[in-house]
């Protein structure tokens, strides 16, 4: 490898706001990171909490194919013999091949935070690194606050690096802990470090000024060969350097190998998997791996894209396991519609009056509040209906929703529905936790006899957005419904001043879409 990726999602990343990982979560993520092919996985700080120590115990059950597991801790405590330091003992108990030791490289921190002498700090660095090296571990030394320390007292910051290197550290990692350095500042400092320190260098950048990825890439350009970062920018404050951006930039833009051959295509999958485990949203516009990273909306863009994707894409999205999406909205041209029709296997190949009529209809619906860029299933149904290639699977004849509440009870919701399927009429009623749930239950009950496959689908997400808050409770709302079965997920949309009506539109589209796909695949 030209550059080794050191992932610290499980330690530094887990310190991000809103992230709490169980031992089982950490094991799943570690195995997925190994599946991606990173070189190092920092599992946690075994001396700081029982959960991290348990994680290292659990990981002994698994053989990692690519990654080396690292345990993190600080240098020995001031005035404590390194052999008696509980943190150091816990690292050895973790029985991992790599130890990452953090030590102060900023004299301000040594004097104010630790309240010890500068010489004592150097002894702590030397003794800790040497002790772990003597026990056969690969040791990385994280020089905390190095760039701030260098700006404040360059001579002392360099003494800290020299202490670690002289004690046998395998890596000296330069940390921009406060995340305030700019790329050209970092580049100048690294050049000066390289004149003195011959131990391989790493970079650990935080994103407080939005430069963590740029700083990491700049460090590689300068000759640094280890990058520390997290999946999806997890980390304290503004997060750590996002390796989901670093990896493809290294491999595709800088021609630096950092993953085993063929693994780059797993990047999007791994990014989304870890977001699911961490219960964090996947940013739609996240570079390379975001759902919208290769989404195209403007008609001029799509027209050019159909001729050659390079006109509006910097890489082929499949190289990172992502895919191209063309959106249809009020900004669309005929090219968008033709692209989507091809994607849906619809026979619509001409720029005729009917096609332009459909575009006009879509734009009118979007002006009313519909949003098809997030509801491909509703869009496909609309297109199939417009071009005479779809008939509804059922027809609503009557619907009644009853809400009942007295002073001693919660709301009780009941939906009574009458639908027609061919020449048969089904009249059913069902209760639910609320009116939408009751409506869903009643509709499913009415249709299951004819379409038993409805039992295979489930509502997985339900979002409501008020489109004009100035109208108060009379405002128009947009309902987005996500449904799934064992094969796929799909999204549908409904819009109305009545939230029940908007929900009905989205639910009907969802059922019709699932039944249509079932028929097309038979």
Digit-coded pLDDT (tens) for 21-42: 999 999 999 999 999 999 999 9
Enumerate the β-bridge partners of residue 398: 418
Tokens of 519: 């028929």
Residue 378 has φ and ψ, to the nearest 5°, of: -65, -35
Rounded Cα gap, residues 218 and 250, in angstroms: 11
Instruction: Convert 465-477 into a string of H (helix), E (strand) and C (coil).
Output: EECCHHHHHHCCE
Q: Which helix (H) or strand (E) holds 395?
A: strand 395-404
CATH class as words, domain 395-520: alpha beta
pLDDT of the residue at 352? 67
Q: Are 461 and 435 in contact (CB under 8 A)?
A: no
Residues 113-125, mean pLDDT to the nearest whole number: 96
Tokens of 307: 């001729």
Tokens of 516: 């249509």
Query: Would 4-278 and 395-520 be classified into the same CATH topology?
Result: no
Instruction: Supply angle C-alpha 45, 47, 53, rounded to 5.
Output: 70
Q: Are 326 and 306 in contact (CB under 8 A)?
A: no
pLDDT of the residue at 76? 97
pLDDT of 331 > 60? The answer is no
pLDDT of the residue at 302? 65
Is the CATH number of domain 4-278 3.20.20.70? yes
Residues 120-141, mean pLDDT to the nearest whole number: 98
pLDDT of 10 > 60? The answer is yes
pLDDT of 253 > 70? The answer is yes
Tokens of 283: 């940013």
What b-and-e string marks burial along 7-37, b requiring 16 or more CB atoms within 10 Å of the CB?
bbbbbbbbebeebebebebbbbbbebbbbbb
Residue for token pair 């509709």: 443
pTM: 0.75
Given the DSSP bridges, would you call strands 458-466 and 477-484 parallel, antiparallel or unpaired? antiparallel
pLDDT of the residue at 193? 98
Tokens of 217: 């890439």
Share of the chain above pLDDT 90, in %: 66
Least confident of 134-143, 207-216, 448-457: 448-457
Rounded Cα gap, residues 327 and 350, in angstroms: 19
Residue for token pair 């869903």: 440
Q: Quickly count: other Cβ atoms within 10 Å of residue 201's Cβ.
A: 22
Locate the domains of the chain by residue range. 4-278, 295-367, 395-520
Summarize pLDDT for 169-212 with one digit per residue, the tens: 999 999 999 999 999 999 999 999 999 999 999 999 999 999 99
CA distance to 5, 61, 213, 288, 454, per residue, from 204 (Å): 11, 30, 10, 21, 51
Summarize pLDDT for 402-418 with one digit per residue, the tens: 988 777 777 788 999 99
Nearest to 467 by CA among 393, 346, 366, 354: 366
Q: How confident is the model at residue 244 (pLDDT cuts 50, 70, 90)?
A: very high
Q: Quickly count: other Cβ atoms within 10 Å of residue 395's Cβ.
A: 11
Burial of 520 (0-12, 13-18, 19+ CB in 10 A): exposed
pLDDT of 330 > 60? The answer is no
Given the DSSP bridges, would you call strands 477-484 and 424-432 parallel, antiparallel or unpaired? unpaired
Q: How confident is the model at residue 124 (pLDDT cuts 50, 70, 90)?
A: very high
pLDDT of 56 > 90? The answer is yes
Instruction: Convert 418-462 into a string of H (helix), E (strand) and C (coil).
Output: EEEECCEEEEEEEEECCHHHHHHHHHHHHHCCCCHHHHHCEEEEE
Give the length of the chain.
522
Rounded Cα gap, residues 32 and 269, in angstroms: 10
Residues 309-327, mean pLDDT to the nearest whole number: 86
Residues 413-436, mean pLDDT to the nearest whole number: 91
Rounded Cα gap, residues 373 and 468, in angstroms: 20
Tokens of 402: 């009853």
Summarize pLDDT for 266-275 with one digit per residue, the tens: 999 999 899 9
pLDDT of the residue at 408? 72
pLDDT of 349 > 60? The answer is no
Q: How confident is the model at residue 291 (pLDDT cuts 50, 70, 90)?
A: confident
Rounded Cα gap, residues 39 and 5, in angstroms: 5
Tokens of 343: 């994607």
pLDDT of the residue at 107? 97
Nearest to 147 by CA among 112, 100, 121, 182: 182
pLDDT of the residue at 384? 84
Q: Which tops the pLDDT comparison, 487 or 461?
A: 461
E-strand stretches of 78-200: 98-104, 138-144, 171-176
Rounded Cα gap, residues 34 and 167, in angstroms: 30
Nearest to 243 by CA among 271, 224, 273, 222: 271
Residues 106-110, mean pLDDT to the nearest whole number: 96
Mean of pLDDT over the chain: 90
pLDDT of the residue at 489? 86
Least confident of 84-88, 146-150, 188-192, 331-335: 331-335
Q: Is 357 helix (H, G, I), strand (E, B) or coil?
A: helix
């Amino acid at each position: 490898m030209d550059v080794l990726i050191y992932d610290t999602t499980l330690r530094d990343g887990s310190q991000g706001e809103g992230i709490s990982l169980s031992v089982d979560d950490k094991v799943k993520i570690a195995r997925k990171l190994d599946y991606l092919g990173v070189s190092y996985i920092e599992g946690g700080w075994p001396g700081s909490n029982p959960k991290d120590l348990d994680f290292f115990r659990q990981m002994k059950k698994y053989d990692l194919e690519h990654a080396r597991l690292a345990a993190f801790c600080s240098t020995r405590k001031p005035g404590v013999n390194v052999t008696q330091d509980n943190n150091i003992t816990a690292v050895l108990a973790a029985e991992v091949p790599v130890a990452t030791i953090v030590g102060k490289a900023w004299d301000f921190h040594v004097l104010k935070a630790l309240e010890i002498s500068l010489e004592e700090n150097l002894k702590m660095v030397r003794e800790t690194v040497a002790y772990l090296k003597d026990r056969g571990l690969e040791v990385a030394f994280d020089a905390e606050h190095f760039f701030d320390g260098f700006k404040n007292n360059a001579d002392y910051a360099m003494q800290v690096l020299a202490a670690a290197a002289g004690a046998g550290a395998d890596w000296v990692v330069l940390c921009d802990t406060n995340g305030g350095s700019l790329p050209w500042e970092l580049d100048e400092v690294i050049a000066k470090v390289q004149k003195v320190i011959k131990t391989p260098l790493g970079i650990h950048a935080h994103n407080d000024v939005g430069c963590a990825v740029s700083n990491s890439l700049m460090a590689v350009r300068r000759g640094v060969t280890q990058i520390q970062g997290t999946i999806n920018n997890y980390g304290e404050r503004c997060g750590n350097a996002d390796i989901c951006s670093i990896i493809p930039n290294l491999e595709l833009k800088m021609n630096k190998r950092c993953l085993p051959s063929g693994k780059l295509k797993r990047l999007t999958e791994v990014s989304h998997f870890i977001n699911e485990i961490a219960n964090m949203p996947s940013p739609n516009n996240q570079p390379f791996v975001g759902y919208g990273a290769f989404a195209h909306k403007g008609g001029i863009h799509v027209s050019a894209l159909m001729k050659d994707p390079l006109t509006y894409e910097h890489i082929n999205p499949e190289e990172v396991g992502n895919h191209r999406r063309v959106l249809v909205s009020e900004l669309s041209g005929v090219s968008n519609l033709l692209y989507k029709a091809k994607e849906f296997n619809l026979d619509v190949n001409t720029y005729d009056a009917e096609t332009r009529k459909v575009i006009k209809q879509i734009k009118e619906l979007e002006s009313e509040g519909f949003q098809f860029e997030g509801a491909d299933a509703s869009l496909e149904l609309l297109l199939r209906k417009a071009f005479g290639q779809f008939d509804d699977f059922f027809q609503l004849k009557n619907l009644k929703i009853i809400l009942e509440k007295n002073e001693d009870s919660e709301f009780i919701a009941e939906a009574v529905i009458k639908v027609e399927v061919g020449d048969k009429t089904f009249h059913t009623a069902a209760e639910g936790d609320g009116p939408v749930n009751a409506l869903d239950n009643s509709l499913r009950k009415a249709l299951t006899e004819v379409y038993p496959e409805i039992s295979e689908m489930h509502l997985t997400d339900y979002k409501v957005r008020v489109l004009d808050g100035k109208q108060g409770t009379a405002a128009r709302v947009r309902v987005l419904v996500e449904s799934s079965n064992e094969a796929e997920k799909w999204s549908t949309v409904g819009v109305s001043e009545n939230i029940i009506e908007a929900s009905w539109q989205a639910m009907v589209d969802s059922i019709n879409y699932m039944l249509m796909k079932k028929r097309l695949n038979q």
